[in-house]
Amino acid sequence: MTTINDIAARLGISKSTVSKGLNNARDVSEEMRKKILETAVEMGYVNRRLQKKEKKLCILVENMDYRTPNQFGHDLILGFKQMAEPDGWKIDVIPLDKEFQRGIPYTVFMMEHGYQASFVLGFSLLDPWIHEFRTSRIPAVLYDNYIKENPNIASVGCDSQEGFELAVKHLVDLGHQKIGLISGPLDSYILKARYNAYLNAMDKYGLEINEKYIGLEYYINDSTRKYVPRLLGEGVTAILFSHDVRAISAITECEDRGISIPGDVSIIGFDDLPIAAHTQPPLTTVRQDRLALGKCGFYALSCLLNRVPIGSILLRATLIVRNSTGPVPRKSV
């Protein structure tokens, strides 16, 4: 086990300087303190005094509204806290951006604040700290993201495969066969997962997979403006969307063009955002239970903190059937 002596020897400084650096003393320069912390992390040093003093976790949030009740981030965090706080953990919620991440290494940030682990929301593959997660020794759980091979990092999310299988089955029961997908581009873990889930579900029900039934585009309204008419032109009678926000944009698009939902086309989202029940027509969608996802996040962290190196926990998906899906249009039969 790495001791303060080992760190001192590596850096060629005194034991007491190392100790001061680790304990945030004022008479050590900022630069030296970071060097000490980074070396301590690199060498696998465990600051037992800090660990025993306080049970502290942080939730790192990017690109996600977490202050408005019932919204995604809010409920994820609430679910996490509902499990963690009764277990004696103090939780800090830290909103941040890429700029912040460039300013301080993840491990140094965590050690400086005495956080034993983190729950990470809303990060993309472009976030600087994502690279640190590949080798980090500090347990972290990522929502809708996945880091390969590092036993200290786990993933939680809703089961895209189960969700899209339920969605396709529902459409097949209504007589649909030409089913399309509109999604963002495949540059994130979760969009790749949804895309593969769509392909597998189509394959499972023996339906034609045709690239002309698929539209991938970053900007939400652009994607629906471009692809809804194009897919309908190919004879598609039902469209899955990678997220509710895209499906809701399609509802507006169809209204503008006089396309009836579900008379001309059935649409299904993914998320079950609160607004999904209030669109016209109300949206059929795959529900991610946000509170349960937050709780999963804490279970996953508990595994890692107890040295049970899980890679992922998947939450069950459920299909919420509303009025945006209906029988296949007669002209298509």
Does 87 engage in binding with its own copies (CB under 8 A)? no
The smaller minimum CB distance to its own copies, of residues 2 and 312, is found at 312
Binding mask 123-152 for its own copies (x = CB under 8 A): -------------------------xx-x-
Is residue 61 within 8 Å of residue 121, measured between CB atoms? yes
Give the separation between CA 128 and CA 96, rounded to whole angstroms.
Answer: 12
Residue identified by tokens 């995604």 is: 72
DSSP state of 316: P
Interface residue with its own copies among 44, 185, 263, 309 (CB under 8 A) is 309
Beta-bridge partners for 285: 269, 320
How many residues does this entry show for the chain? Answer: 333
**Alpha carbons 62 and 219: distance in angstroms, whole number:** 19
How far is residue 211's CA from residue 222's CA, in Å, rounded to a whole number? 18
Number of residues engaging its own copies in binding (CB under 8 A): 26
Strand partners, 215: 182
Specify the residue for token string 């690109």. Answer: 63
**The one among 312, 322, 329, 332 contacting its own copies by CB under 8 A:** 312
- Contact between 75 and its own copies by CB under 8 A: the answer reads no
Question: Least distance from C-beta 96 to its own copies, angstroms?
Answer: 27
Tell the smallest beta-carbon distance from residue 309 to its own copies (Å). 4
**Angle at CA of residue 179, ends 174 and 180, nearest 5°:** 145
Whose Cβ is closer to its own copies: residue 100's or residue 299's? 299
- In whole angstroms, what is the distance from residue 50 CA to residue 271 CA? 39
Minimum CB–partner distance for residue 299 and its own copies (Å): 5
Q: Does 314 bind its own copies (CB under 8 A)?
A: yes
Q: 96 or 310: whose CB is closer to its own copies?
A: 310
Quick one: which H or E segment has residue 284? Answer: strand 284-287
Closer CB to its own copies, 137 or 230, in the complex: 137
308 counts as binding its own copies under rule CB under 8 A: yes
Give the footprint of its own copies on residues 164-223 (CB under 8 A).
166
The 10 Å Cβ neighbour count of residue 191 is 18
Please tell me whether residue 295 binds its own copies under the rule CB under 8 A: yes
Nearest approach, Cβ of residue 127 and its own copies (Å)? 22
Do 237 and 328 contact (CB within 8 A), yes or no? yes
* Interface residue list for its own copies (CB under 8 A): 83, 148-149, 151, 159, 162, 166, 289, 292, 295-296, 299, 302-303, 306-316, 318
